[in-house]
Structure 1
Amino acid sequence: MELNFWDQVKSQPIWIQLLLLLGTLSIFKTLLSIPKWIYITFLRPAKNLKKYGSWALVTGPTDGIGKSFAFQLARKGLNLILVGRNPDKLKEVSDAIQTKFPKTEIKNLVIDFSIGGNLSEGVIKIQELVEELDVGILINNVGISYPYARFFHEVDQELLRNLIHINVEGTTKVTQAVIPGMLKRKRGAIVNIGSGAAIVIPSDPLYAVYAATKAYIDQFSRCLYVEYKKSGIDVQCQVPLYVATKMASIRRSSLFVPSTDGYARAAIRWIGYEPRCMPYWPHSILWGLAHMLPESAIDAWRLQFCLRIRKKGQVKDSSKKE
């Protein structure tokens, strides 16, 4: 008598039955993740950001993603504290925002996050300001990368110190200045801008220190998410891949490389949800594909890609010296 499928399964050793069960659960989990991704990406409503508070603080708002975030937050009806090192650029951005959104109140804080800047004094200014205002959202966007790819031993001391000081210490101290007020009010949202260089790909050769600082941002965000979730504070690390910015040396946007405005529009919808997210949906597709490839293959591709960037950068440097 021929056994049916379930009888054949029952006749197998227990360890084989367990493997079959785990495999079946894994398949179901994968199948269920597709409709979940569609809902979260395209159908889930954005949160009412004004419920966190009437003010948002944005670091690095004079260019790139930070500037686009500032415009999107103003569009949502939030008042802004813009924190940057160049007073002229801060005024230019705040004037442009108020021209488009006249009801938006804006306060500019001049803080230089670099080594030799006024970060410690700036943090005190932030603490004093947030005591007076209902700051419900913090966008930690300030950060720097390498001018171009280079081996670790080629990274000069000034760049090395600034990478750590701006990307790590700056974000950490600004967060520590803002979070007590959120705790007092029992509401708030903190968004730290990470990077696919630290999370999506297994390694980022020739950008080692930059990638390491962004890995810190990811872990820092996750820990704070767990620490403060029950206190009404939503902490999130957003993970963009390439965006058309000066820092990425990309001028033209495309489907997989959004403009800063395109990225910010997507990013605003994710505030207050998952502790780590990739707001721009084509990036999440690339993330999924990257996880399907062997790490050794991605490492080899990434090394060759970055070596080409290094070569172009060296050519530009030598032409400037001439």
Structure 2
Amino acid sequence: MELKWPDIFLVATCALGTITLFKALISFVKWVWIMFLRPPKNLKTYGSWAIITGSTDGIGKALSLELASKGLNILLVGRNPQKLETTMKEIRDKYGDQVEAKLAVMDFENVNGEEIVKKMEEAMEGLDNVGILINNAGMGEPYPRFFHENDPQIIDAVVKVNLEGPTWMTKAVISKMIKNKKGAIVNIGSASASVVPSFPLHTTYSATKAYVAMLSKCMNLEYEKQGIDIQCQVPLYVATKMTKMKPSLLVPSAEVYSKASSACIGYERECVPNLVHSLQRLFVREVLPHAFCDWFIMRDFLALRKQTLPKDSNAL
């Protein structure tokens, strides 16, 4: 029987619809597996020591305690010696002789790449079995501002902490992992670079986080055959000092986020570990039009900018 063009079109449309539906079903089953059923990796197989930057507050501190609970020794990296001591004491009080904890004072705003590498080599002396590096330290512009309104010092600090910090920390640590033929590096990204189509008035912050995402993807391909898993984890809003938010249904605490974060280490090159965040990402990327997202974010940040501008400001 000879098929006519309307019949061919109908068959092709049905086939395309079936393929699209099948792909969506596979994606859903995969998502359910990752979020609810997939077992976390035994992180101690990477090595006995984990290094965590920005480990005195928020996600970094919560991850330090979470990984210590799994029997990993923790090297805390941060700029505030007193807060580092507090976190170290908390780990030792909670886990006693089960784990070791050390600290390294590092202010990414005031050191260059060569100094970061040198300081970390000194801090890692005697720690041959470094298995995990979590580049968590980050900062953003304190208020929504047009790019030209930001102080040069703010722009420089955001670039140093968010971009140069993880780059040179990775440079300092990865040689040990190559030698051991195993390791995991987690770079904490941001929804501002990986979920929403744009993030105006926080331009430097979102741009540096886009760099972090690409750094992770490229390096994962470079080093996966060396036994090193490199990953960018993408949080949305988490209740931390940086976001100035309290825990809620849509905003997990740092402790809740850290449990999901640790369970994802060693898997996808880029992931959204938290369940609620994953649903929010799906809604923003697959349901909301990009033009609407751009308009809404711009409107929201313009209103916040107006509230935080100095009264004597002559800004636009």
TM superposition score normalised by structure 1? 0.91
1:253 match: 247
1:219 match: 214
1:169 aligned to 2:130? Answer: no
In structure 1, distance between residues paired with 2:250 and 2:4: 48
Q: What code does the residue aligned with 1:12 have?
A: I
CA contact (8 A) 1:191 1:237 kept: yes
CA contact (8 A) 2:116 2:172 kept: no
2:199 partner SS: coil
2:231 match: 236
CA contact (8 A) 1:85 1:112 kept: yes
1:37 match: 31
2:291 match: 296
Q: Deviations over 1:195-228 (max 9, x none)?
A: 0000100000100110000000000000011111
Call closer, same or farther: CA 1:118–1:96 in 2, change over 3 Å: farther
1:204 aligned to 2:166? Answer: no
1:290 positional shift: 0.9
CA contact (8 A) 1:111 1:118 kept: no
Q: Deviations over 1:85-127 (max 9, x none)?
A: 111111011001110011221111111100x346643421212
Call closer, same or farther: CA 1:9–1:38 in 2, change over 3 Å: farther
1:158 positional shift: 0.1
1:31 positional shift: 1.5
How much is the aligned-residue C-alpha RMSD, in angstroms? 2.0
2:20 match: 26
CA contact (8 A) 1:145 1:163 kept: yes
CA contact (8 A) 1:111 1:119 kept: no
In structure 1, distance between residues paired with 2:284 and 2:219: 27
Q: What code does the residue aligned with 2:32 have?
A: I
1:102 aligned to 2:96? Answer: yes
1:34 positional shift: 1.4
Unaligned regions of 5+ residues in structure 2, if any?
none
1:12 aligned to 2:8? Answer: yes
Unaligned regions of 5+ residues in structure 1, if any?
none
Aligned counterpart in structure 2 of residue 308 of structure 1, from 303, 307, 311: 303
In structure 2, distance between residues paired with 1:130 and 1:208: 35
2:154 match: 159
1:58 partner SS: strand
Call closer, same or farther: CA 1:208–1:33 in 2, change over 3 Å: same
1:194 aligned to 2:158? Answer: no
State the percentage of identical aligned residues: 48
Q: What code does the residue aligned with 1:76 have?
A: K
In structure 2, distance between residues paired with 1:88 and 1:119: 24
Matched residue pairs, number? Answer: 309
Aligned counterpart in structure 2 of residue 60 of structure 1, from 54, 65, 88: 54
2:257 match: 263
Aligned counterpart in structure 2 of residue 81 of structure 1, from 67, 75, 97: 75
Q: What code does the residue aligned with 2:240 have?
A: T
Call closer, same or farther: CA 1:311–1:136 in 2, change over 3 Å: same
1:10 positional shift: 9.0
In structure 1, distance between residues paired with 2:176 and 2:167: 16
Aligned counterpart in structure 1 of residue 87 of structure 2, from 93, 99, 120: 93
1:282 aligned to 2:294? Answer: no
TM superposition score normalised by structure 2? 0.93
Q: Deviations over 1:262-282 (max 9, x none)?
A: 100111100000000000011
